[in-house]
A = this chain, B = another copy of it.
Amino acid sequence: MKTASMIFRQLFEPVSSTYTYLLGCEESGEAVLVDPVMPAWQRDLEAVSALGLKLVMTIDTHIHADHITSASMLRREAGSRIATPALDGLPCTDVAMHDAVPLQVGGLRIDPMHTPGHTDNHFALLAGDRVFTGDALLIDGCGRTDFQSGDSRALYHSVRGRLFGLPDDTLVYPAHDYNGRRVSSIAQERARNPRLGGERSIEEFVDLMANLDLPYPKFIDYAVPGNRACGECPQDLPPSLREYCPEMAESPQG
């Protein structure tokens, strides 16, 4: 596989254990942030500037339940455009992503892959030999399917039918890891992902996902409406959740 000429940074946001990805085109000086997170918006913008780049687009892979996107904040501060899945139909979006319709940013080509299951409208993003798998495929794991529009059957097909069809050496960059792992490859996940790899059948997977017995996500009731507005912090956020929206906490309304 030929690797594209792409500036690349993996940035970790510790409140929600989210990886944000900075992709840059050296020729045009333009940059994209994938899944930027509210508490880290200034850090992310500084990372773009430190590379001599200009932020022109943010992309959210899906409507997150565990953090609020900084897409709107970055549009206000840096003039970047907001890309989200077309199927979500969010009025705050500038660029509606469709399956297999590439986003072109300078010399950077990003191919959105509709990969429903964690949410119905979830996208993975392929750029050269790197795939940003959002919450569909995690290292040795996958996103949960028991809230929002989750559907474990759909996720099985998205991961095994689409993502595992990418070339072996495609680098897998997930939206989260809770154990400090940062990168995997399609060959690795296809062979040893304990939920979706090897010979795992769809019925086994559906059963496994139905019995994870996970706690209710503590931020979901704020995150989903906040992200449907492309990243607005709710005014009624309890003090215990303020770290998700530190800007608001510092404002007069906070």
A residues with CB within 8 A of B: 1-10, 26, 128-129, 168-169, 171, 179-185, 187-188, 191-192
Contacts and interface: CB of A to CB of B under 8 A. Distances in A.
Contacts of A185: 10, 182-183
Number of copies: 2
Contacts of A128: 3
Contacts of A171: 171, 183
Main secondary structure of the interface of A (DSSP, over half): loop
A169 B26 contact: no
A212 B12 CA distance: 34
Given A7-B1, A169-B10, A187 B192 contact: no
A97 to B, nearest CB: 24
Given A3-B4, A10-B185, A185-B10, A180 B192 contact: yes
Given A1-B7, A6-B3, A7-B1, A183 B180 contact: no
A191 to B, nearest CB: 5
10 contacts: A1-B8, A8-B169, A10-B187, A180-B191, A180-B192, A181-B192, A182-B184, A182-B187, A182-B188, A183-B188
Given A181-B188, A183-B171, A3 B10 contact: no
B7 A2 contact: yes
Contact of A180 (B7, B8, B182, B188): B188
Contact of A184 (B4, B9, B183, B187): B183
